Structure formats: C-alpha cells, structure tokens
Structure 1
C-alpha cells in the first residue's frame, strides 16, 4: 500500500468480519464485506476502482468479481455448508480492474498441497504412516538445508493421499453441519432448548500437521528463487509438528467454505474464469506459496483478454530475495504503478 500511495494513487483498505481469525472465515460472507467496501468508494465518486488481492486475498478478490459480475439471481445463495448468504440482495459493484501480488491458489487449494497425508488418526498429532512421511529419509528426505530428492512415485502417492485426507475431513465437517441443521429444524418445531444448544455445538475441527509441502524441502520441484523451507520457517520438518500452520483450527462451516480444497468455491483458478476485467498478476520469484506453475495456470485461467503477468525478485510478503536488494514490495509497486498509469490515471483500491 505505501508503494501505491507514494506514486499518487488513492488507497482504501479494509478487512472482513473474520479479521485475523480464520476459525470462522466464510468466503461467501466475506464477499458481502468486500461489497460494502466497493460501494463505499464508488459512492465517494472515484472514477475507477481497482481491486487488489495479495496472497489469499487474490482468490477472495477474484471470487468477488465473479459473483458481482453475475445477475443477482445467479449468485450463490448459501455457503458449501448450507448457511444462507444474501448475495442476491447485495449491491456488488464490479471493479474496473484487478491487481494480484503473490497470489496463491486459494486457501483450500493451498492446504491441499501443504497438509501432511501421513496422519492416520486425526485425534493424535503424532500418528503416522511411515510410507507417506515426507520427513523420513526412507522416502527421500535429507537433513536440511540440503534439498530432498523425492521420487516421482512417492510424489504421486503423496498427492493422492493428501486428497484422501481432505476428503475424510470433509466428511466429518458435513456430518457435523448436518447434525446442527437437524437440531435447528427440531427446535423450530418443539422449541426444546436442548436442540438449540445442539444446533450451536458443531464444535471445532483440529487439523494436525499442515506444513508439509514437498516443494518446501525439494527445491527441484517447480523451481524458483525461493529459500529452503516454508512460509512458517526454515525447518518444516519441525514446524509441521508445532501449533502454527494453515487451517489448524476451523469450524465445520469454515472448513468447507475456506480450507477444503474439494468443497471450497474460492479457488483462484475456478474464480478466474468469471473475471472479465483487466488483470495484472505480479509473481515474486522467491515465493513459497505462489509457485511458477501456479502463476502460469492462474494467468491462463482469466476470462479477460487483458491479462499481464510479470515476475519481480522478492519473497511472498514483499521482502527482498537477499539482504540489501530492492524489496519485492517496491518492485511490485513499480509494476503496478506502470500498469495502472496506462489504464487508470486516477483510481481507488479495495485491498483484500
């Protein structure tokens, strides 16, 4: 944001009702929050409004544009878990363009690549299938910081097992959502307070070990300028067992809407097919969440015939590749300002 402000562009930033708390994040509700921001800047007379998405905000911004571009009657009416969301009744101004910086594929698709499939008991953070353990030397792992050479057969089995684990968590989430819905319907009829309590007691899903992307320790997979490790640290073989990580705590509804790579609708590539406005995608060459293949796939997925894909040196959050170099944020700001200057002499931004 400072890079854009310093170049003379007005910037509007906001957060969703789930600020700093993905525990309850429902993407469909977040679209309503984005709509409020877009309406706010439009009502103040800006001639052009360009939406900005960084990291996971990229998928949210694309999802917003997809839904805002549809006739109201065709917008989503509920979350994947069934919670009603009144998008059809909302004013959803379509922005004039979309800027993306380090856009990962969306929370669900990202988690699908970082979740540890060797977990065999969701209630036991130490449970393990050794044949799928990414940090076992028998599967190709070597002591850091040396890059681990995983075999193609192991990678294929690993990706399949990741999908299977997400499927199992999806099943649990859907069962809990269904039980809550049944209790709500009973309460509507009999007004029994026990049913009301059960409707609210869907619980929290705990997902152990979500720092296990093979690309974090095998730098030959989809190579770029990234350092060894993950967004969470230089030793994913250790942080994988800690308390940090994507999607570690989530309600069943939020799991299905946000963190499930199977059930969530907020995948960047899926949503890009509904984006017809001009797009600039800024890929950072040392990114550990948006890899080169992700960036290429995303750029090709947009429906717009005006898509620009540039690469600048930097890391996911805008740090420089090496100490003393120009920051990725500054280089991204330069690319954004150049693109904006050619298309939108004056613009406001809705930051996600």
Structure 2
C-alpha cells in the first residue's frame, strides 16, 4: 500500500486575525501519497466538526489522491457560525490546493453536515448569491475558486432542516429544559411507538412551529438590543434529539439500529447537554438554524451545481435517511449525477472494511471521469 505523508497547515483568513496565542484561523492537515504530487485532491470541511484528520484521508491518499481535511475558525465554535465567513475560509483551502499543492482538479467532499456547506461554497463560486454580513465579507466571497467535482457523503439536507427534524416540539417554555406538553411528548408510551399518522403530522407541524417561534423571538431580541449597548447575545436551545425516526424504526425503515441516535439512546441524549444548536448567538441562529432565514439549506445551492456529482448514502445511518439522499440527488443541476447506497453507519465505522469499500467507490467514480 502507498505510504502517506501528512502536512499540517495554518493559514490566515481574509476575515479574522491570527490568534494572540499564535494559532491561525484556518487550519488543516493535507494527506498525499509519499513522493508524488496528486493531480486531484479532496477538500472536506464541516460547520463545526474538526475534519483535519478526516477518516477517509489516508484511504484516499493511499489511492493516489490528495486530501485536505480543512477547518474554518468555527471548528468547535458552532455558536458563532456565520456562513459567509466560513465560505471565505474554505476558499483559502481550495486556493492552497491549486496554488501550493499544485493539484489540477478539486473535489468538494460534503460529509454529514458538510454536505450543505460545500454545496453553498460551490453555489457561491459559480453564481454569487449568499447574503454577506458586512462589506468586507461581501468582498471576500465575491470571487471564490470553483471546484471540479461535488460529493455528498452521508449528508444532511441542511442545518435548519436537520435541526427541525430532530428538535423536540413538546418543549413548552424555551427557558426551561424540563418544560413539557404531554400531548407531544415523543417519549411517553401513550403517544407511541408506534406513532400514528395523525401524531406524526401534529409532531412535524409543531417542530416547524418551534423553529419559527425561536426565529420570531430572535428578530424581536435583535430589535430590543438595537437600543442597548449590545449587538448580539447567546441563548440556549434545549432538547434536540427527538426525531421520531430515532424512536420508531418503522418510520422510513432502514438498516439503522432501533431507538438509537448518534449519541446512543435518544431520550438520554435529548435531556442531556450535548447536541446541535444547544447554544447560538442571535445572528448565528438566523445564519444557520432558522427555516425562514438560513442560507445553510442545501436545496437552493444544489440547483446551481452542474459539475459531476456523486451522492453516497449509508443504509445504516441513524440520522440521515434514504429520502434525504434522493432529495439531494434530485436537487442537483448536474447532468452527470449518481446515487450509491452502501452498507454502513454514518461514518462507516462498520461493517468491517466499509471505509476501504467507500474509498474504492469514490476513487472508481473519479477515475471513470479522468480524475
């Protein structure tokens, strides 16, 4: 098997200073086959998860590709995320691949939540559309270098969509993590599982209403702060592990384990302190999580992606479903687009050999396209 070299990168951002302690805003690790300069390289970035040592990097480097696991300054700092700033910092990584690593073709790997983020990047690169938070940010994202391929891997349809699908609508008081509307409690056996079609309908409507209720409060709070010394604030969003599909495996059945989410038992996770959107600034909520205002929804961006595209779905994924993958495929503007369904969980930790099989799939797909 080909030896793999690793190179740590720390690079400046057009929108943030270098930290006083010395760290650069943009950081990552470049994997490549030893002694060779790849013609084609992947770049993978997430909204807040550290992708520097992405699990696929060594597998694809062994197969002759470069792989830049790339982090914006929002790694581990989801509460402060701004889409326009993140896109400008992804461009730093894409630019490094072309200008310093010398690759000829760049593959955007949109893994998990990164699916919609990388879709937004390519969308902005080919047809600028993202509303910027400042004039400086607008300049930074006005001319992004476009990629040559797009891959959605175990990808969610967008940040506001996944949050809304997972949030617990039985929360009756956003300031109280234990508040409860019993008629919507997904963990009360009186409501299910199995969950009736009528309960599912009410539940999904209440989830959308909760998202909108928070958005309305955020707008009102920003208006209130306009008369104060503050321009933003932090707030909590409680109980975001309550997708009915996590509890009832008969809803959109798949190979996922029953009563399971990415953090184990969904009831324990739902009443715990770790989850998506647990803390946000007002502006981050509008940029990332709001169904009404967020530009982190994949669909509008997919409609601007015309490069060859691949969608890969893990059949045992506990949080991404086959309908999500098919929706991403249908939304892509590319004439050359393919959907592949593989055995595996969200990060292909199982079954044995799943990651190697996945790397072979990606390499074969690119190879048939001359990359």
Aligned-pair CA distance for 1:217: 1.2
Q: Does 1:243 align with 2:262?
A: no
Aligned-pair CA distance for 1:231: 3.5
Aligned-pair CA distance for 1:56: 0.5
Corresponding position of 1:19: 75
- Out of 68, 83, 91, the residue aligned to residue 125 of structure 2 is 68
Corresponding position of 2:86: 30
Corresponding position of 1:161: 206
- For the Cα contact (< 8 Å) 1:287–1:315, is it kept in 2? yes
Per-residue CA distance 1:273-331 (angstroms, 9 max, x = gap): 1111110111111112220111111101100101111011110022114xxx323x222
Counterpart Cα distance in 2 of 1:83 and 1:108? 25
Counterpart mapping for 1:192-341 below 5 A: 195=228, 197-199=229-231, 202-321=232-351, 325-327=352-354, 329-341=355-367
Counterpart Cα distance in 2 of 1:292 and 1:222? 8
Counterpart Cα distance in 2 of 1:103 and 1:252? 26
State how many pairs are aligned.
314
Per-residue CA distance 1:10-69 (angstroms, 9 max, x = gap): 112211111111110112211111111112212233211111111011100000111110
Per-residue CA distance 1:106-141 (angstroms, 9 max, x = gap): 22110010000000001111111000000011111x
Paired residue secondary structure (1:86)? helix
Per-residue CA distance 1:53-112 (angstroms, 9 max, x = gap): 110111000001111101xxx533425xx8973156643111000122101112211001
Change (3 A) 1:137 1:260: same
Per-residue CA distance 1:196-219 (angstroms, 9 max, x = gap): x323xx221201110000001111
- For the Cα contact (< 8 Å) 2:88–2:140, is it kept in 1? no
Paired residue secondary structure (2:310)? strand
Change (3 A) 1:264 1:77: closer
- For the Cα contact (< 8 Å) 2:124–2:141, is it kept in 1? no
Corresponding position of 1:51: 108
Counterpart Cα distance in 1 of 2:184 and 2:95? 49
Counterpart Cα distance in 2 of 1:269 and 1:46? 29
The RMSD of aligned alpha carbons is 1.8
- Out of 192, 200, 216, the residue aligned to residue 171 of structure 1 is 216
Counterpart Cα distance in 2 of 1:170 and 1:242? 23
Counterpart Cα distance in 1 of 2:135 and 2:262? 32
Corresponding position of 1:145: none
Gaps of 5+ in 1: 141-147, 184-194, 346-352
Paired residue secondary structure (2:327)? helix
- For the Cα contact (< 8 Å) 1:211–1:230, is it kept in 2? no
Moved more, 16-25 or 224-233: 224-233
- For the Cα contact (< 8 Å) 2:249–2:259, is it kept in 1? no
Corresponding position of 2:51: none
- For the Cα contact (< 8 Å) 1:32–1:90, is it kept in 2? no
Change (3 A) 1:139 1:317: same
Counterpart mapping for 1:114-133 below 5 A: 114-133=166-185
Structure with the higher strand share, 1 or 2: 2
- For the Cα contact (< 8 Å) 1:77–1:85, is it kept in 2? no
Counterpart Cα distance in 1 of 2:85 and 2:313? 28
Paired residue secondary structure (1:245)? coil
Structure with the higher helix share, 1 or 2: 1
Larger RCO: 1 or 2 (CA < 8 Å, sep 6+) = 1
Change (3 A) 1:159 1:84: farther
Q: Does 1:78 align with 2:109?
A: no
Counterpart Cα distance in 2 of 1:55 and 1:271? 16
Moved more, 45-54 or 226-235: 226-235
